[in-house]
Amino acid sequence: MLTDSQMRLFALRGTRPSRRQVFLPSGCLLLGHRGFARSAPENTISACLDAIQWGADGVEIDLRCTLEGEAVVFHDDTLSRLVGIPGAINTMPLSQIQACLLKGAEGFHSDTIPTFQELLEALPSGIFVNVEIKDAPPLHLHFEDKVVAQIEAFRHKFHFIISSFNPKALHRFRMRSETIPLGLLMAPDLVWPLRTGALLPLLRPEAIHPHYSMVTSSLVDMAHEKDMKVYPWTVNDVAEASRLGGLGVDGLITDQVQKITDMMGHS
């Protein structure tokens, strides 16, 4: 359920240009990294609505598991950075987590940490939702089963992909669903198997999500030959976005939705 302030904010943003006007290759998606934390804290309902209204085709969000196994939309493992108090997400009940107010660029906001269910209920239909799994909780919490059930309940409304740096997490989701697409996150500072994609044959993901500095024409060609999409992160420079678009990537994950839509040129 949207708050009155979120409804007003959503209505006011309707005048921004469509992503179809942005000079990117046809079919290249623009995804707001943790939504668009310009006027609201990251990973909140407001930030995700902001990303869509500023021209993104979808959002990249982070999921963590609470003490009782509920999925909440939050990046960090503790509340220190965004709430200012100690406490690990996986040691706290949902009620305690949702009682916290989040900090944004201008101090504390009225936004709280949403559950995955609450976010899905608030987002507009037809968008792309990249769900990054931050950890692999204890099996007895049935976290993966709950997330899969929530995704299945909303597959008529959204295009989903589950992504993670954690191969164990991706394997658990593959065992629970053969039809929900998976994406392996890659970074140049990770251990060799995760840096080079050595686990791709085992995990069989539908996409790779490399750091933008790793993306070359040969990497894109290799992925496409294996029927994998390529979604680089986190692309905040217009020139870099243009380079990657020219290589034929399938989407860009960015903190700067407004900057890229405004500065890459409109048709």
User: What mean pLDDT do residues 62-88 have?
Assistant: 97
The residue among 64 and 3 whose pLDDT is bigger is 64
**Domains of the chain, start order:** 29-265 (3.20.20.190)
CA-angle at 47, arms to 44 and 90, nearest 5°: 25
Give the pLDDT confidence of 174-195 residue by residue, as tens digits: 999 999 999 999 999 887 777 7
Q: According to the model, what pLDDT value does residue 264 have?
A: 58
Using the predicted structure, report yes or no on whether residue 213 has a pLDDT greater than 80. Answer: yes
The whole-angstrom separation of Cα 250 and Cα 51 is 18
State the CB neighbour count (10 A cutoff) for residue 25.
12
Provide the pairing of β-strand 229-230 with 207-210.
parallel
Per cent of the chain over pLDDT 90 is 76
Q: According to the model, what pLDDT value does residue 22 have?
A: 41
Long-range contacts of 200-203 (CB under 8 A, 24+ apart): 200/226, 200/228, 202/167, 202/171, 203/167, 203/170, 203/171, 203/174
* Amino acid present at 107: G
> How many alpha carbons lie under 13 Å from residue 114 in its C-beta half-sphere?
25
List, in sequence order, every residue forming a beta bridge with 32; answer none if it has no partner. Answer: 59, 254
The whole-angstrom separation of Cα 102 and Cα 104 is 7
Contact criterion met (CB below 8 Å) for 86 and 97: no
Using the predicted structure, report yes or no on whether residue 163 has a pLDDT greater than 70. Answer: yes
User: What mean pLDDT do residues 158-169 have?
Assistant: 96
Long-range contacts of 211-218 (CB under 8 A, 24+ apart): 211/186, 211/187, 212/240, 212/244, 213/188, 214/186, 214/187, 214/188, 215/244, 215/247, 215/249, 216/247, 217/247, 217/248
The whole-angstrom separation of Cα 92 and Cα 65 is 9
Q: According to the model, what pLDDT value does residue 252 have?
A: 97
* Amino acid present at 135: D
When pLDDT is cut at 50, 70 and 90, the band that residue 10 belongs to is very low
The residue among 111 and 6 whose pLDDT is bigger is 111
User: DSSP H helical segments within the chain, as ranges?
Assistant: 4-12, 45-53, 80-83, 94-97, 116-122, 143-154, 167-176, 192-196, 200-203, 217-225, 238-247, 257-263
Say what the pTM is. 0.90
Q: According to the model, what pLDDT value does residue 11 have?
A: 43
When pLDDT is cut at 50, 70 and 90, the band that residue 139 belongs to is very high
Residue at token pair 């869509």: 52
Contact criterion met (CB below 8 Å) for 141 and 65: yes
Query: Rounded to a whole number, what is the largest CA-CA distance in the chain?
Result: 52
